[in-house]
Amino acid sequence: MFENVKMPEGMSPEVLEHLMNPKNYGKIDDADGVGVALDEKTKEYVIFYTKLDGNIIKNVKFATNGCQDTVVIGSMFTQMILGNDTEYANTAVQKMHDKLGKLSAQQQVCADIVFSSFVASLKNYENRQNGKDEELHVFKMKESCEVKKNSKDEENE
């Protein structure tokens, strides 16, 4: 689709595709597990919805108020785990790290917020299976994706 497009430096055609046409973005009304990862400092969040058949991920969606990196990583990760079992999905976190390569500190937090919301959705599913009345499960992020300005940024304002 993007054969004739000059790629921005360091961006693969796959990343561009997920940026321009995010996959699995939205909500599952009857999700088996709903997880939220929240950056309390910036108020950025990712909501992750999973629909399971046993341990197979039959459907998965995510929503975020985050940056484009969060959307791209959410899109790529959901595509990777859709149709696979939860055991594979847990190993897919490392596979995504390998696929994404070297990330900036901010991009790493974007990735972690996506992965944490997925884990929270599985925790929500487990809690529901054990009889807990829980609408969703929330993880508060330890690291913030807030960009720290350096002195050169301040000089340019």
What CATH number is associated with residue 111? 3.90.1010.10
Q: How confident is the model at residue 156 (pLDDT cuts 50, 70, 90)?
A: very low
In a domain, 2, yes or no: no
Q: What is the pTM assigned to this prediction? A: 0.83
* pLDDT given for residue 148 in this prediction: 56
Written as six digits, the tokens of 40 are: 């309390």
For residue 45, the cross-strand partners are 38
CA gap 20, 147 in Å, rounded: 24
pLDDT greater at residue 138 or residue 154:
138
Structural domain of residue 124, as residue ranges? 13-141
Number of domains present in the structure of the chain: 1
Using CA atoms, how far apart are residues 27 and 36, in angstroms rounded to an integer? 12
Kindly state whether residue 137 falls inside one of the protein's structural domains.
Answer: yes
Asked whether the beta carbons of 128 and 33 are under 8 A apart, the reply is yes
Q: How confident is the model at residue 147 (pLDDT cuts 50, 70, 90)?
A: low
Say what the pLDDT of residue 149 is.
46
pLDDT tens, 52-108? 999 999 999 999 999 888 999 999 999 999 999 999 998 888 888 777 777 777 888
Say whether pLDDT at 40 is over 50.
yes
Residue 130 lies in a domain: yes
